[in-house]
């Protein structure tokens, strides 16, 4: 197939291009900065310089390339998760407006299939793991709620497509090379510097996914049934277990603990919610339909597999 990837030079875009090329597809990667275009070319794909926020240029790109599939991996994330609140408006604009331009161009250009990056970590699973029918946490405080509402709009967009098939991939927290959650990643630096505390009981459950596993699932989505899939690992972990295990993995000391009342006063409602209210996700559908086979997490994980519960 001829595949057009927007956001092609990011932490997921790089292994995705590699996987697509290995599968024999003709890959075109959209990027804006010269260094990003160079990365796309080094990976063996055709580089396309463009700005998703420039509607006319995106329409021209799709019309010229005429891809069979468009993969929307557009993001504008900061180097550190601590800077996410400041970057969120730009990220939201790129995904909603820029992604909207890409989506409209794909429909107008006769694209057969559209694959959309979604969130698998702001889902509401109630007292268990979130399934594909689970809603997003649109009423959550702060940037969590803002992000959830953005992802909800993206889900609504692809659900309303006509004349092309759509697949929504709800990725878990990315880990691996080039991500925040890696030995040389920004989150590791914050933990090592004692800037991350465990808040209260740490009841939130996190579901991660290695970027290479996410890339594999995305390639499989080229021919999978339309719909939404949770692209997460087999080891959903409570935050209270995960944070100390992660600190051990990077060779850091014990993480400090802060009570909920103290954290609420000093850090705000969102910080408490983040560590005590999030749901993990079930990957059963992606395992069955996409052949997802996530690699084991690199940090210690004392509990048995709960992904199929």
Q: What is the mean pLDDT of the chain?
A: 95
Q: 309 or 124, which is more confident?
A: 124
Q: What is the pLDDT of residue 301?
A: 64
Distances (CA, A) of 231 to 28, 118, 200, 302: 23, 9, 28, 22
User: Comparing C-alpha atoms, which of 158, 174, 128, 142 is closest to residue 227?
Assistant: 158
The H or E element spanning position 3 is: strand 2-6
- Placement of tokens 């939201």 in the chain: 92
* Confidence at 308, pLDDT banded by 50, 70, 90: very low
**Is the model's pLDDT at 305 over the cut of 80?**
no
* Confidence at 32, pLDDT banded by 50, 70, 90: confident
* Confidence at 17, pLDDT banded by 50, 70, 90: very high
- What mean pLDDT comes out for the span 176-200? 96
Q: What pTM was computed for the model?
A: 0.94
227: CB partners within 8 A, 6+ apart: 132, 167, 168
**Bridge pairing between strands 208-210 and 69-72:** unpaired
**Is the model's pLDDT at 22 over the cut of 60?**
yes
| Rounded percentage of the chain residues whose pLDDT exceeds 70 | 97
């Amino acid at each position: 197939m001829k595949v057009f990837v927007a956001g092609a030079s990011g932490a997921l875009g790089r292994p995705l291009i590699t996987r697509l090329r290995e599968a024999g597809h003709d890959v075109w990667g959209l990027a804006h900065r010269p260094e990003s275009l160079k990365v796309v070319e080094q990976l063996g794909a055709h580089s396309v310089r463009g700005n998703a926020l420039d509607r006319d240029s995106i329409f021209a790109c799709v019309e010229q390339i005429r891809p069979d599939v468009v993969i929307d991996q557009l993001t504008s994330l900061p180097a550190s998760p601590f800077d996410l609140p400041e970057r969120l408006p730009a990220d939201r604009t790129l995904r909603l407006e820029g992604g909207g331009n890409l989506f409209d161009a794909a429909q107008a250009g006769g694209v057969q299939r559209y694959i959309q990056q979604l969130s698998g970590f702001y889902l509401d699973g109630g007292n268990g793991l979130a399934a594909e029918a689970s809603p997003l946490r649109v009423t959550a405080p702060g940037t969590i709620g803002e992000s959830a509402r953005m992802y909800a709009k993206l889900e609504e967009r692809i659900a309303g497509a006509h004349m092309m098939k759509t697949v929504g991939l709800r990725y878990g927290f990315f880990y691996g090379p080039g991500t925040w959650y890696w030995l040389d990643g920004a989150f590791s630096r914050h933990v090592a510097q004692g800037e991350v505390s465990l808040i209260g009981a740490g009841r939130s459950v996190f579901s991660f996914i290695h970027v290479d596993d996410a890339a594999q699932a995305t390639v499989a989505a080229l021919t999978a049934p339309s719909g939404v899939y949770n692209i997460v690992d087999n080891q959903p972990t409570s935050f209270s277990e995960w944070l100390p295990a992660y600190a051990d993995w990077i060779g850091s000391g014990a993480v400090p603990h802060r009570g909920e009342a103290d954290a609420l006063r000093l850090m705000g409602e969102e910080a408490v919610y983040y560590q005590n209210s999030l749901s993990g996700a079930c990957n059963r559908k992606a395992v069955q339909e996409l052949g997802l086979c996530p690699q084991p997490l690199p940090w210690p994980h004392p509990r048995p597999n709960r992904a199929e519960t």
